[in-house]
Each structure stands twice: as C-alpha cells, then as structure tokens.
A and B are shown apart, each in its own frame.
Chain A
Amino acid sequence: MAKIDEVKAQVEAGKTKLVPGLVQEALDGGSAAGDILQAMIDGMKVVGDRFSAGEIFVPEMLIAAKAMAKGVEVLKPHLAGDASTSLGTCIIGTVEGDLHDIGKNLVSMMIGSAGFDMVDLGVDVPAEKFIEAIKETPNVSLVACSALLTTTMPSLKNTVKVIKDSGLSGFKVIVGGAPITQEFANEIGADAYAADAGAAAETAKSMVK
C-alpha cells in the first residue's frame, strides 16, 4: 500500500499514534503536502458516510478526527501559504438559549476535516455574536448554526434572519440539529440543511465549490 493510502486508512481507523509518523514518512517519500491532506480529507469522508449510515458511532468519529488533527499538525509547516487547500473559514455555534455542544462539536470537526478553517463560537451564542464574528473574521465562506431543542428553534430562526438582514455577504448559512428539517431550513431562509455531521461536511463542501 502506498504511504499516502496508508495515511488515509489509518485516519479512518482513528490511529492517533500512527498517523503523524505516516504523514512524515509520506512527506519524506516525496508526496506533496496538499495530496496528503486530501487523502486525510477523503478518509474523513469515508468516516462521515459510515456514521451517516449508522455503521459507526460518535467515539469512532471523534478518534478519526483526532487522528487527522494529529496528521495536520505534522503537515502544517508544509501547507503554510497554500491557500488552495482551504475552503475558507466556517463560523459555527449553537444558537442562543441552547447549551448542547456534542452535535455542534462533531459537525465542527467534520467540516474542519473537510478543509475549512473553523471558528467555534461555542454554545448559547446570540445572533449579534455571529454578526461580530463574521465581520471580524477574514475569508468567511460558511456560517453553521445548530439548535437541538424545539424550544430553541425560534432562536435559530431569529439568528438566520439577523444574519441575512445584516447586509453581510460572501458566505452561505447552513443549519442543523435534531428537531430541524429541510422544510424548516427552507422556511427560515437558510441556504442549506444537513441531517448529521457526515452530511454537514459534504453539504458544506458542495456549497462553497
């Protein structure tokens, strides 16, 4: 197996201790940093698809994302200045009144693994804080907002409205969370909806390409 394929396979398997060494070996063997990163992104796509299909669970996804993050650490000095590898910046947060973070964290990891730079605003984020972050952050291509509770669906609606009415542009808004549906996303004017973390990464990529 080529070293770069091994990197992909071990990211999929969540081998946090093996991946950094394999990335270094792939670099030493002459593979381009961008290609190695792409192999890891492809590995995370497999992980996301398997999660969406119910074949694997949250720990497998977390450990794979961590393995990739460790690989990226080795890769970073070789990627510096290579804008072609980034899909822009994604600002993510759980909307005001909602303190759930696990789903948002998973989505953040998966979108980050797909090639976005992530700015995570955390939980219970007021709409105004999303606006501030969009203004302050360069190269924002995506804003991801989540709500896990039926009681915070109005807050999600308000957040999307405030963002859309702000006049700021150049990015898309994606929404998700357990009670959220495609119909609700359409109704509140979001650009896209994703049912889970795996789908979020795929949708995010397709929206900015």
Chain B
Amino acid sequence: MLTKRQNLLETIKGGKPDRFVNQYEAFQCAPEVPMFNMLYFDPYTMSNPIPMPGTPDVVNSWGVTISWPANVPGMFPVHDEAHKVVKDIAEWQKYVKAPNLDFPQAEWDKYKPMAEGVDRNEVYATYVVAPGVFEQLHYLMGMDDCLLAFYEEPDALKELIEFIANWEVEYAKLIVKNYKPNALFHHDDWGSYKSSFISPEMFKEFIVPAYKKIYGFWKDNGVELIIHHSDSYAANLVPSMIDVGIDIWQGCSTTNNVPDLVKKYGEKISFMGDIDSGVVDKEDWTPELVEKEVRRACETNGKLYFIPNTTQGGPMSTFPGLYEAVTEAIDKMSKEMFKPVL
C-alpha cells in the first residue's frame, strides 16, 4: 500500500494510485494546529490577532478589522468608512503598513519541533498561508473599491499588489529557512460560485506576475507542491494557474464542470474538490446525500488528476460529522473503484 504522499504523487502524475487521495489526508501533518492540521504556527502568525467564533472587531497585523459573529461559519473584514484601511487607493502608501517579520531567532526556533516531527515519507510537510494577494487587496479596501481600482487606478493597484507580493516573499524566506516545508497550501479566493471576480485578461495582467514571484520563490526553495485554494468558479483561470506553478487547485466547485477540466488540463494540474460544501455541508445533511455526491464526483472525474474533497478550505466542516462522513464515503468508493487485480 502506498503512503498518503506516494499515493498523491501517483494521482497527480498520472501514475498508478492504489486508492483515491482522501480529501486533505496527504497534507494533514500537524494535528496540534486547530482546523488545518498543517504547519501554521510561527512568530508572525502567533502575533497576528485573528478572531475566534463569536468575537467582534479584531484588528489584525495589516490593520484590517475582522469580525466573526456567533453562529456564522467564517470571519469577515469590516468595511464601513471608519474601518477601511485604504481610504484612497491612489495614496495607498499613506495607509498600508506591512506587518513586522523581524522576530528573534529564538521565536522561530520555538515552532521547529512541529516541522521536524512530520513523517515526510507518509505526508507532505504542508505550510498554510492565508490570505493571498487578491484577498489581501479587498481586505484592505473593501471589494467594491478594490474591483473599481482595476479600472480607475490600475497603476496604484499594481504597486500595492507588488508590495503585498514582496512582503509574502519575505515571509516565505523565513518559513523555508526555519521549517523547510515541502508543500504549500495557499488561500486566495478568485471567484464567486458562478464566475471569476475579474476577467482572465485582467487576471493575467494584474495577478499573475505577483503569483509567479510568490510561487516561484517557494518552488525554488524546496516546496515541491503548490496547492491553491479558491472555492469558486475559476475554470477560465486554469491556464493562468498552470502558468504560475499551481499543482493542485483545491476548492473547484461543480459549476466549473470539473470532469471536463480533468480531461483538458489533467496532465498539467490536478483538481481537488467537486463536492460543493454548499450542497452537502448543511444542518440536515444525510449519509445518503453525501454518498450520492461523493459517488458522482468519483465516477465522473476518475482516478487520475482528481482528489475528491468538499470545497471548504481546510479539513473541516461547518456542521458536525460532515467532513468525516465524506471521508468515509470516499473510502467506500476507493474499495469499489480500485479493486485489486487478481
């Protein structure tokens, strides 16, 4: 039986996996880290305030106010006029201060045992980075201002994108130096359920250069796999994803026609998702619904270049038991579709 890491490699390289890669199993390397179970603790993340469920108005290291009201599945930046960090994109330098990364070495050393303890033959030592460049832009100024800036202040927007990308590379330097991850799980939502936020042409002009720099750095420094999370439609951005070096697009929703993408691009990029959290992760979920959705995803996408997974950006679900039920249903499909050759 292949290890989780070997099985993933066989799957994304078009080899001979012996079962489906089951959701995040090949990246879950740090059980101590809540929600992600991936490497995430470092002096920066530990000093960056983030709200817990039920906490209003926490100001993070970029100055963005974030709220997580009770009974809501995620956190949200607050963007009324008083709370927007960037009041005028033309003068972004006046408002944006990059978070400090200058911590004593002893602080970085504190979290080394976690990275050193990963069984790198069994799983990838996967580091989580979030939010990404596009999300950081609209965290700083609000979605409407951000999207209008693509037309109204393109030069200033490009400057800010470069500033964020450069900061991400500085952060990446410290991570690879101290923890030597061999996979990166990077969040940046690039679309809604039905379309990408911006056109593929605009994406190429504004966002691709930043990601060539960021993902290029990680890949040049020991990271073998880039897993990019965008739980959205983004089929029209797949050529750009390949261009910037993404190996696995996690979060691809059914609206992308994932089986078509697997056929068209499978040898260049793999697809992880096709089980919409919006469909299965609800209060009244049933094992029957989960099995139906998992079966559809597995049968229509096949065994290669595809990892069945809910679209949620981590090994978790909003409603208790749902993630585990999906895992169980995928195991059943593996038994059915990967019968040993006698």
Residues of A participating in the B interface, judged by any CB pair closer than 8 Å: 14, 16, 54, 56-60, 62-63, 66, 97-103, 105, 124, 149-151, 153-154, 178-179, 196
Q: How large is the interface on B (under 10, 10 to 19, 20 to 34, 35 or more residues)?
A: 20 to 34
- B184-234: which have CB < 8 Å to A? 192-199, 202
Interchain CA distance A99-B195 in the complex, whole Å: 20
Known: A99-B67, A150-B282, A196-B194. A58 touches B72 (CB 8 A): no
Main secondary structure of the interface of B (DSSP, over half): loop
Q: Is the CB of B71 within 8 A of A57?
A: no
- B137-173: which have CB < 8 Å to A? 143-144, 147-148, 150-152
Q: Is the CB of A63 within 8 A of B196?
A: no
A28 to chain B, nearest CB (A): 27
Interchain CA distance A174-B177 in the complex, whole Å: 54
The 8 Å CB contact of B144, one of A57, A105, A178, A196, is A105
The 8 Å CB contact of B73, one of A66, A149, A153, is A149
Q: Is the CB of B278 within 8 A of A178?
A: yes
Q: Is the CB of A99 within 8 A of B72?
A: yes
Known: A149-B73, A178-B193. A59 touches B148 (CB 8 A): yes
Which chain B residues lie closer than 8 Å to A97 at the CB level? 69, 71-72
* Chain A CB within 8 A of B318 CB: yes
Q: Is the CB of A58 within 8 A of B194?
A: no
Known: A57-B197, A57-B198, A178-B278. A99 touches B151 (CB 8 A): no
B155 to chain A, nearest CB (A): 16
The 8 Å CB contact of A59, one of B193, B194, B198, is B198
Interchain CA distance A100-B75 in the complex, whole Å: 10
The 8 Å CB contact of B69, one of A57, A124, A153, is A124
A59 to chain B, nearest CB (A): 4
Q: Is the CB of B151 within 8 A of A57?
A: no
Interchain CA distance A99-B198 in the complex, whole Å: 22
Interchain CA distance A66-B67 in the complex, whole Å: 29
